[in-house]
Structure 1
Amino acid sequence: MLKKSICTLPGLLLYVICCSQAVYLPKNLKLPADSVRLIDNLNNFLIQLPKPDKDNSMVLKENLLTAAALMDEMKGMTDAGADKKGVYKCYLTNIVPLDSNSYVIQLAYMGVDAGAPVLRAGFKLIAQRRDEQYYFDSPLKRNTRGWQVKKTGSFIVYRNTNNKVSKLDTYVTKAMAFDKQLHAQNYTTEVYYCDNTVDALELLGIDYKKEYNSLPFAHLSTFEGGNNLHVIGAQPTEYAAYDLHDLWHNRLHHVASTDVINRPMDEATAYLHGGSWDISWPDIFKKFKAFAGTNHDWLSIFTAHSRFGDARAPLYTDYVIDALIAEKVEKEKGFEAVMALICSGKKEPDNAGFFKALEKEAGVTKVNFNAEVEKMVQHENPR
């Protein structure tokens, strides 16, 4: 029965390559009887990848979150850099029927570098026919059927292991606390966890991606359609996979647009709430004081954006001072005032927008900056 529904179409190969350039078909690839429609829809899907995920007409609305997570990984795979466009070609390497209306599609992005073939990435998608066309999705839901599911508030955690993963539990608890502090609107966060990188990537539909070679963990996050999705592959003790610093950024960026966020304040509040490089805020502050030594020209230290700490775990002076400011402002006026500083606009060479907001929320100007920051440094008492 299967053989009757599959054929090779060399004529179709010529048509697709000449007219689209989105996907190439190797010679003698076995194709389903409905291949003209399927390949045309696949081309349409791939051509739309540069668009915002929600605008891809080949993705069903109910699949947007999972499809977006995979589409984000597929973007830019034909390029070898900003100035090297179209180096890699997308090849359709396999089509496997799942039932009468759906297929598993496998793609490979390949090219040639210095005369040697290079595999840039490989992906797996689900093609599902509805009405008269095919729509595309990640195989994530299909790959996690029967997994353990635990709901905590608006978080849904899927796991394939009975082993205790305390860092994952802490991650979810902290995310809920951050959302409360940020006054975030309620939205669903789905977390898919398995204990190694390769399995996590394959769950989503990433068979291979050059960037992920030899990585000890993977943590991919997508926010689309008002909801959040995390795919985590890591050993239970791999701290970097559950980094609270990055978690703060993740939750904050769902509340405030990065178009208006002041990055130093973003980093500063991440220092406070999640540390950095597995270094806690109290230890960051101690390192900062040791770096500053007897130099208490805080405005110069702030403006210099100096790097300190371990070369592999860099910390920055202005982020620490901003963290002290955030602590003071939150204590005196509440977190809404801190959000005003966070959303004071992108950093400018003279920090004009930030200092305008700083004067309004904390009464701190460039004139009294050294005196006010000195008080903050003296009052800080890290545990």
Structure 2
Amino acid sequence: MALFEFKTIIELMKLKLFALLILPTFFTFAQTTQIQVHPQIRMPQDSIISQQLVSALNGFLAAATQPNEKNSWVLESQRIETHILLDEFKDIEKSKTQEDDNFYKPYLQNVIALKETQYLIQLSYIGLKGDQSHLRASFELIAHPTDGSFKFSSPLLRNTRDWKTVKVSNNIFHYAETINEGNVETFGALAAQFDKKLKVDNTITEFYCTENLTALLKFMGVNYKLDYNGLQQSNFSSTLDNRKLIILGNDNATFGNLDEHDLWHDRLSLVISRRKVNKPVDEACAYLYGGSWGLSWEEIFNRFYKKVASNKKTDWAQIKEEPMNFGESRATHLMADYVVNALIVQQIEKDKGFAGVWEFLNCGPYENGNTNYYIALEQLTGISKKDYNKAIWKIIEKERRRM
């Protein structure tokens, strides 16, 4: 056989082998920009491990555009901790200002070897416009070797491995130094009340207590994200099977701020997505059961009566379509329609028990015109859309006399 023919056969064999290696990658990533690796990054010395790492990372980032449960590149033992980080990757490549759905590209910035052949991965999404670069976000991931490839997790557990833990019923609190034990006990008692209403069973809720939004993001693996620029506080959560994970970033490193309003929302989300319930009714329950912004239900109603219901020309049907904020500011908003719904919820629960409230919650998401809302309202209370304004005035005055 001629030397030329022999070399040609060898080259063809190499091409076939290469095609077999990249074919799954091509079909997986055809719709997604692959990560850019700077030539000066110190990758693992073993070239095969380096290739496996980059290939797996591309798989993880491509799957991050899908629902979290479909991402097979997530480490099984840390799914819920990683899902809360995966939420931050959604639509990460899009830029509204540039009107480009693929403006931001992923760049691998650092690979740091950890114990047991794990790696800390640092990557950023950067967009280029002319001679300017625009940073959208910087993330950290832990890469875990698995069967000739890698799977990934949030660094949350690693970053909090030296923290302390306290448990009350099925609620677990993770904290760095100290915790407000009184608030933990109050939380446990109130959560039990809500769970009884909602028939929540065998659900484990874990809290990670951090000081502010910056700390929250850092612990879960977000070093920076343009979307949160200048923001100080927030809470993030994720739900999976019978577990709910909540990271508190609202001046709550010691669980010193117990928000009973948000507690209602958190417990409700254990049994149904809040996107599926009627938001005004959901918020009404939170006002009634947990107050808002440190105000009790009684305090909220009294403010509502003085600032809104004192105007006897108020049209409650119009306020339902055109929301009115009677709070001290936009940040500490109090919505008039939520108070009206709280009064209705209070009446329904008195007459029909929480089963009636549950039916009201599930009348369908908020919609302009509130057709489904009015149908459910009439079925549960007898109040029709036609008689709505008159009926609400009666309910308001009844509550005023009760207080």
| Alignment TM class, shorter chain as reference | 0.7 to 0.9
Say whether 1:30 aligns with 2:46. no
Whole-angstrom CA distance in 1 between matches of 2:269 and 2:41: 44
Whole-angstrom CA distance in 2 between matches of 1:298 and 1:177: 35
With 45-54 and 246-255 compared, the bigger mean Cα shift is at 246-255
TM-aligned CA distance change 1:369 to 1:218, over 3 Å? closer
Partner of 2:65: 50
- CA deviation profile, 1:199-252 (whole Å, cap 9, x unmatched): 332211111122333433342111123311111234349999754333322322
Partner of 1:274: 290
Q: 1:355 aligns with which of 362, 366, 374?
A: 374
Q: 1:21 aligns with which of 21, 28, 33?
A: 33
- CA deviation profile, 1:180-216 (whole Å, cap 9, x unmatched): 2222232111111133443332211111122333433
TM-aligned CA distance change 1:239 to 1:63, over 3 Å? closer
Whole-angstrom CA distance in 2 between matches of 1:317 and 1:240: 29
RMSD over aligned Cα atoms = 2.9
Say whether 1:97 aligns with 2:113. yes
| Superposition misfits of 4+ residues, deviation over 6 angstroms | 15-20, 237-241
Say whether 1:79 aligns with 2:98. no
Whole-angstrom CA distance in 2 between matches of 1:92 and 1:214: 26
Q: 2:312 aligns with which of 259, 276, 295?
A: 295
- CA deviation profile, 1:132-154 (whole Å, cap 9, x unmatched): 22110011111222321111111
Partner of 1:127: 143
With 114-123 and 160-169 compared, the bigger mean Cα shift is at 160-169
Structure 2 counterpart of 1:37, which letter?
Answer: Q
Could you tell me whether the CA contact under 8 Å between 1:256 and 1:343 is conserved in 2? Answer: no
Deviation at 1:302, TM superposition (A): 4.7
Larger Rg: 2
Structure 2 counterpart of 1:307, which letter?
Answer: M
Partner of 2:341: 322
Partner of 1:250: 266
Deviation at 1:274, TM superposition (A): 2.8
Over the matched positions of the two proteins, sequence identity in percent amounts to 33
TM-aligned CA distance change 1:198 to 1:336, over 3 Å? same
TM-aligned CA distance change 1:199 to 1:317, over 3 Å? closer
Whole-angstrom CA distance in 2 between matches of 1:370 and 1:234: 38
TM-aligned CA distance change 1:267 to 1:199, over 3 Å? closer
Deviation at 1:294, TM superposition (A): 4.0
Partner of 2:14: none
Map residues 220-239 of structure 1 onto 2, 5 A cutoff: 220-236=236-252
Could you tell me whether the CA contact under 8 Å between 2:268 and 2:274 is conserved in 1? Answer: no
TM-score of the superposed pair, with normalisation by structure 2: 0.82
TM-aligned CA distance change 1:240 to 1:84, over 3 Å? farther
Partner of 2:122: 106
**Corresponding residue SS for 2:142:** strand
Map residues 74-223 of structure 1 onto 2, 5 A cutoff: 74-81=89-96, 83-112=99-128, 115-164=131-180, 170-171=186-187, 173-223=189-239
Map residues 339-378 of structure 1 onto 2, 5 A cutoff: 339-378=358-397
TM-score of the superposed pair, with normalisation by structure 1: 0.86
Could you tell me whether the CA contact under 8 Å between 2:321 and 2:369 is conserved in 1? Answer: no
TM-aligned CA distance change 1:163 to 1:329, over 3 Å? closer
Partner of 1:40: 55
How many aligned positions are there?
Answer: 369
TM-aligned CA distance change 1:168 to 1:211, over 3 Å? farther
Unaligned runs of 5+ in 1: 1-14
Whole-angstrom CA distance in 2 between matches of 1:96 and 1:64: 22
Could you tell me whether the CA contact under 8 Å between 2:281 and 2:361 is conserved in 1? Answer: yes
Partner of 1:338: 357
Whole-angstrom CA distance in 2 between matches of 1:242 and 1:79: 36
**Corresponding residue SS for 2:126:** strand
Deviation at 1:258, TM superposition (A): 4.2
Whole-angstrom CA distance in 2 between matches of 1:201 and 1:242: 21
Could you tell me whether the CA contact under 8 Å between 1:59 and 1:136 is conserved in 2? Answer: yes
Structure 2 counterpart of 1:24, which letter?
Answer: Q
**Corresponding residue SS for 2:95:** coil
TM-aligned CA distance change 1:208 to 1:306, over 3 Å? closer
TM-aligned CA distance change 1:147 to 1:320, over 3 Å? same
Could you tell me whether the CA contact under 8 Å between 1:49 and 1:56 is conserved in 2? Answer: yes
TM-aligned CA distance change 1:295 to 1:237, over 3 Å? farther
With 108-117 and 261-270 compared, the bigger mean Cα shift is at 108-117
Deviation at 1:339, TM superposition (A): 0.7
With 359-368 and 140-149 compared, the bigger mean Cα shift is at 359-368
Whole-angstrom CA distance in 1 between matches of 2:318 and 2:212: 42
TM-aligned CA distance change 1:259 to 1:156, over 3 Å? closer
Partner of 2:5: none
Could you tell me whether the CA contact under 8 Å between 1:329 and 1:361 is conserved in 2? Answer: yes
Deviation at 1:115, TM superposition (A): 4.6
